C-alpha cells in the first residue's frame, strides 16, 4: 500500500467501488474501503437475486479480490460513529480508523414514510441479504401454496422500476423453474402491484407506462394505481379508500431515502430524505474533507435521480478530482451525462428512454433490444471491475446455461 493521504470510502456499491478502483493505485493516496458485506454486487440486479433468476456465483465479487487488484485495503464492518473534528470513523467491529478525506457512498433504501405496519410486516430488497431472504420466503410460499392447493397472494407496493421489474421477475422465476412453468403460474399466482400515483413507471413516457401495465396484466398481475397504502398487517395492505388488499407475501419497493448511516455525519447539511448536500465537486457543503456520492448525496444546484449510472459517473469523477484536490488544485466541476434509462420485465418485454421525450422498446424485437441494453449496462460495470475477458466468459456461460430457479417443485 502506498503512503500518502488517508482516504476512507464508506460503502462498496457502484459509486464507492468505482472511486476505490480509480484511487487505489495512486501514489499519493492510501485508500481503505469499508463495507458491511464481504462482496460487491450490482444493486439494480437485486430483484433478480430476490427471484432466484440470478446466482451469486460470477455476480458477487469478493472485495478482497478487488482490493488486491486495485491496490486498496478492504475492511468489513459498518460505521457506528464519525468524528469529523478528529477525523476518525468507528466501526461496529471496535476498530477506529483515521482519515484525511472521507467518501460517503452508503447508498439508499426504500422509504416506508412512517406508515404503520410497513417495517414489521413487509419485506424489502435494499441489500443482497434482503434479496436472499426474500427468495427464501418466496420459495417457501410457493411450496406451501402448491401443497395446500391454494393461490399464492403477493402484494408489491411501488410502481417504479424496482417494483415493476421485481413482480415480472417473480413470474419469470415460476415460469423457468423445473417442474413448474407458465401454466402453473397462471393457476398459482395472485399478484397485485400497488402504486400511489396515476401510473406506473412515472419516470418514463406515458406510452411506456401504458404498455408496461398491459404487459403485466397479460401476465395475470393486477395493477392498482391511485391506491395510497396507509397501513399493513400480516394479512395485507390497507388503502386510504378503506379497501383492504390481501397479500400473504408483502413487499415494499416504494420511495427512496439515504442510508440511515448518513445521520452519523452530525452538523452536515442533509435533505428531507437524508441525502447529504454536496457542491459540484461532490464535497459536502459544510466540510470539504467529506465527500458524498451516489444515492446518499444531492447537488442542490442540479439534482440527479438516484440511479446506478449516476453513482458510477460520480465515483469515476472522484477518481479524477480527489487527486487534484489533494494537490491543492481546483478540479473541474462534476457534469452528469444522462444516458437514458431502461426497464426490463424479465424476458417478457422491455423499454428504454433516450430522453424525456424519446423512448423505445415494446414488442418482440424492440423489447429484446431494451433487455439487452439493460444487461449491457451491468456487464459494462462488471468488465471495469473484473476485466473484459472474464466478463465475456461469464456472460457466454450464463447465456448458454441459463439459471433454472430452485423453487423446490
Closest to 168 (Cα-Cα) out of 255, 59, 253, 57 = 253
Contact (Cβ atoms closer than 8 angstroms) between residue 215 and residue 348: yes
pLDDT of amino acid 400: 65
How many whole angstroms separate alpha carbon 26 and alpha carbon 28? 6
Q: Are 33 and 7 in contact (CB under 8 A)?
A: no
pLDDT for 404 equals 82
Determine whether 73 is exposed, middle or buried from the number of CB atoms within 10 Å of its CB (0-12, 13-18, 19+): middle
Q: What is the pLDDT of residue 229?
A: 98
pLDDT in tens, 312-344: 999 999 999 999 999 999 999 999 998 888 899
Tell me the C-alpha distance between 230 and 27, whole Å.
54
Count other Cβ atoms within 10 Å, centred on residue 76: 17
Q: Are 303 and 310 in contact (CB under 8 A)?
A: no
The residues, ordered by sequence, that sit 6+ positions from 267 with a Cβ below 8 Å of its Cβ are 84, 286, 287
User: Does the predicted model carry a pTM greater than 0.85?
Assistant: yes
Q: Is beta strand 29-35 parallel, antiparallel or unpaired with respect to 108-109?
A: unpaired
List the beta bridge partners of residue 75. 34
User: Per-residue pLDDT tens for 140-158?
Assistant: 999 999 999 999 999 999 9
Please answer whether residues 259 and 109 qualify as being in contact, where contact means their C-beta atoms are separated by less than 8 angstroms: yes
Give the separation between CA 257 and CA 295, rounded to whole angstroms.
Answer: 8
Check residue 85 and give left, alpha or beta (phi > 0: left; psi -120 to 50: alpha): alpha
Q: What's the rounded Cα separation, in Å, for the pair 113 and 219?
A: 30
What is the pLDDT at residue 341? 85
Q: Which H or E element spans position 264?
A: none
- For residue 255 the three cell numbers come to 420511495
Per-residue model confidence (pLDDT) at position 108: 94
Q: Which three cell numbers stand for residue 138?
A: 418466496
DSSP label at 333?
P
Q: Which positions of the chain have pLDDT values less than 70? A: 1-3, 355-360, 363-367, 399-401, 409
Question: What number of CA atoms fall less than 13 Å from residue 308's CA on the CB side?
Answer: 23
At residue 182, the pLDDT reads: 96
Amino acid at each position: 500500500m502506498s503512503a500518502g493521504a488517508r482516504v476512507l470510502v464508506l460503502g462498496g456499491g457502484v459509486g464507492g467501488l468505482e472511486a476505490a478502483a480509480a484511487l487505489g493505485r495512486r501514489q499519493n493516496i492510501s485508500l481503505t474501503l469499508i463495507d458491511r458485506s464481504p462482496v460487491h454486487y450490482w444493486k439494480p440486479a437485486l430483484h433478480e437475486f430476490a427471484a432466484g433468476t440470478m446466482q451469486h456465483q460470477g455476480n458477487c465479487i469478493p472485495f478482497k479480490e478487488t482490493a488486491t487488484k486495485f491496490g486498496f485495503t478492504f475492511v468489513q464492518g459498518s460505521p457506528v460513529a464519525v468524528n469529523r473534528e478528529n477525523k476518525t470513523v468507528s466501526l461496529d467491529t471496535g476498530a477506529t480508523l483515521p482519515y484525511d478525506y472521507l467518501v460517503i457512498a452508503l447508498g439508499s433504501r426504500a422509504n416506508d414514510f412512517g406508515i404503520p405496519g410497513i417495517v414489521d410486516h413487509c419485506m424489502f430488497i435494499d441489500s443482497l441479504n434482503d434479496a436472499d431472504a426474500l427468495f427464501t420466503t418466496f420459495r417457501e410460499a410457493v411450496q406451501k401454496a402448491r401443497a395446500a392447493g391454494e393461490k399464492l397472494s403477493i402484494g408489491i407496493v411501488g410502481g417504479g422500476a424496482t417494483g415493476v421489474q421485481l413482480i415480472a421477475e417473480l413470474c419469470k422465476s415460476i415460469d423457468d423453474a423445473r417442474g413448474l412453468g407458465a401454466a402453473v403460474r397462471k393457476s398459482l399466482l395472485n399478484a397485485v402491484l400497488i402504486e400511489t400515483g396515476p401510473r406506473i413507471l412515472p419516470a418514463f413516457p406515458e406510452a411506456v407506462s401504458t404498455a408496461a401495465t398491459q404487459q403485466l396484466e397479460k401476465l395475470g398481475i393486477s395493477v392498482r394505481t391511485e391506491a395510497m397504502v396507509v397501513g399493513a398487517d400480516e394479512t395485507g395492505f390497507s388503502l386510504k379508500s378503506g379497501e383492504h388488499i390481501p397479500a400473504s407475501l408483502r413487499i415494499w419497493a416504494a420511495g427512496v431515502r439515504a442510508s440511515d448511516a448518513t445521520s452519523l455525519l452530525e452538523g452536515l447539511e442533509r435533505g428531507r430524505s437524508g441525502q447529504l448536500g454536496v457542491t459540484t465537486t461532490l464535497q459536502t457543503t459544510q466540510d470539504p474533507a467529506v465527500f458524498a456520492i451516489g444515492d446518499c448525496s444531492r447537488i442542490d444546484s442540479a439534482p440527479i435521480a438516484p440511479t446506478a449510472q449516476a453513482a458510477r459517473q460520480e465515483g469515476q469523477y472522484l477518481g479524477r478530482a480527489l487527486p487534484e484536490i489533494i494537490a491543492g488544485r481546483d478540479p473541474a466541476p462534476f457534469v452528469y451525462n444522462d444516458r437514458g434509462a431502461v426497464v426490463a420485465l424479465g424476458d417478457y418485454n422491455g423499454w428504454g428512454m433516450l430522453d424525456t421525450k424519446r423512448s423505445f422498446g415494446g414488442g418482440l424485437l424492440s423489447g429484446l433490444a431494451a433487455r439487452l441494453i439493460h444487461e449491457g449496462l451491468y456487464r459494462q460495470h462488471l468488465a471495469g471491475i473484473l476485466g473484459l475477458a472474464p466478463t465475456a466468459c461469464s456472460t457466454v456461460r450464463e447465456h448458454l446455461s441459463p439459471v433454472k430457479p430452485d423453487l423446490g417443485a
